[in-house]
Amino acid sequence: MNHVHDLRQIIGPRKIILNCTGALIIQTDRILFQRRTDNGKWGFFNWGGDIK
């Protein structure tokens, strides 16, 4: 997350609230998951979001 690092250089140690969005994709009797690249676990689609 280079954008967080860049922001840290500007605002220092104050809290940063990062927006989040997610999706649950269902087709008939199936649910689409994505595999995380950091730990290999399966989960819902989630793009960002955190308080750092």
Comparing CA positions, the residue from 20, 24, 30, 15 lying closest to residue 44 is 24
The pLDDT value recorded for residue 47 is 61
pTM: predicted TM-score of the whole model, two decimal places = 0.40
Quote the CA–CA distance of 30 and 15 in Å, as a whole number. 38
pLDDT tens, position by position, 12-28 = 989 888 776 777 788 88
Whether 37 maps to a domain, the answer reads: yes
Whether 7 maps to a domain, the answer reads: no
Chain-wide mean pLDDT for the chain?
79
Whether 11 maps to a domain, the answer reads: no
**pLDDT band for position 2 (cuts 50, 70, 90):** confident
Whether 25 maps to a domain, the answer reads: yes
**Number of separate domains in the chain:** 1
In the block, which residue shows the tokens 């979001």?
A: 49
Whether 44 maps to a domain, the answer reads: yes
Quote the CA–CA distance of 43 and 24 in Å, as a whole number. 10
Per-residue pLDDT averaged across 17-46, rounded? 80
For the chain, what is the total number of helices (H) and then of strands (E)? 1, 8
Whether 48 maps to a domain, the answer reads: yes
Domain residues for the domain of 47 are 18-52
